[in-house]
Structure 1
Amino acid sequence: MPRPAERKDHPLSMRLPDADIAIIDRAATLRGRSRTDFVREAAVRAAEEVLMESLPVRMSPEGFNAFLNALSAPARPVPEMVELLRRSAPWESDAAPARS
């Protein structure tokens, strides 16, 4: 007699106000996703963030010393960042009216 297939999916049910459903549907549509896919992805992403915030970082004493040395070393300029920070923002221009 065949064994029943092991279930891989677990249903999740929520009661949400119409306004929440509307905003979720709008965002899901903009991403080209179904409501279920959009909510699942958002929930998993939020869960991963919480877990990453609470997991301890483990390293060897040598690794920890290397980490502290990297933090204590003088900062080195990154040429691409220096160039980017020297540019004017798109909304800043010489033609913009002066504020009083």
Structure 2
Amino acid sequence: MATPVERKEYPISMRLPEADVAMIDRAASLRGRSRTDFVRDAAVRAAEEVVMEQGLIRMTPEGFAEFMEVLSRPATSVPEMVELARRPAPWEPGYPAKQ
């Protein structure tokens, strides 16, 4: 007799208006995904954002003072970032043509 296997996936059932399902199906199709994959990914991303918003950062008073000191220092430029910011955007005149 086969031994039972512990379930690793759990069904979730929702009732949605037809317009919502149509929008989800359209978006899933544009991404080349199934409705289930699209909804699962969107729900997990939203859940991760909420959990990350609730994360506390704990510091000792000394650590906080050091953190504030670093933030209070004058900014230093990063040459590569300055050059990147000066490049024209693809939609601007002067953008290099594809070769």
Interval containing the TM-score (normalised by the shorter chain): 0.7 to 0.9
Further displaced range: 35-44 or 18-27: 18-27
Match for residue 70 of structure 2?
70
What is the aligned-residue identity percentage?
Answer: 69
Q: Displacement, 1:46?
A: 0.6
- Structure 2 residues not aligned, in runs of 5+: 95-99
TM value normalised by structure 1 = 0.73
1:47 paired to 2:52: no
Equivalences for 1:71-90 in 2 at 5 Å?
Answer: 71-90=71-90
Match for residue 93 of structure 2?
93
Specify which structure has the bigger relative contact order, considering alpha-carbon pairs within 8 angstroms and separated by 6 or more residues: 1
CA deviation string 1:23-74 (max 9, x = no partner): 2222222322221111111111111111111121123444333322221111
**Aligned equivalents of 2:16, 2:65: Cα separation in 1:** 49
CA deviation string 1:65-88 (max 9, x = no partner): 332222111111122221122123
- Structure 1 residues not aligned, in runs of 5+: 95-100
Q: Displacement, 1:18?
A: 2.3
**Aligned equivalents of 1:92, 1:83: Cα separation in 2:** 16
What amino acid sits opposite 2:27 in the alignment? A
Q: How many residues align?
A: 94
TM value normalised by structure 2 = 0.73
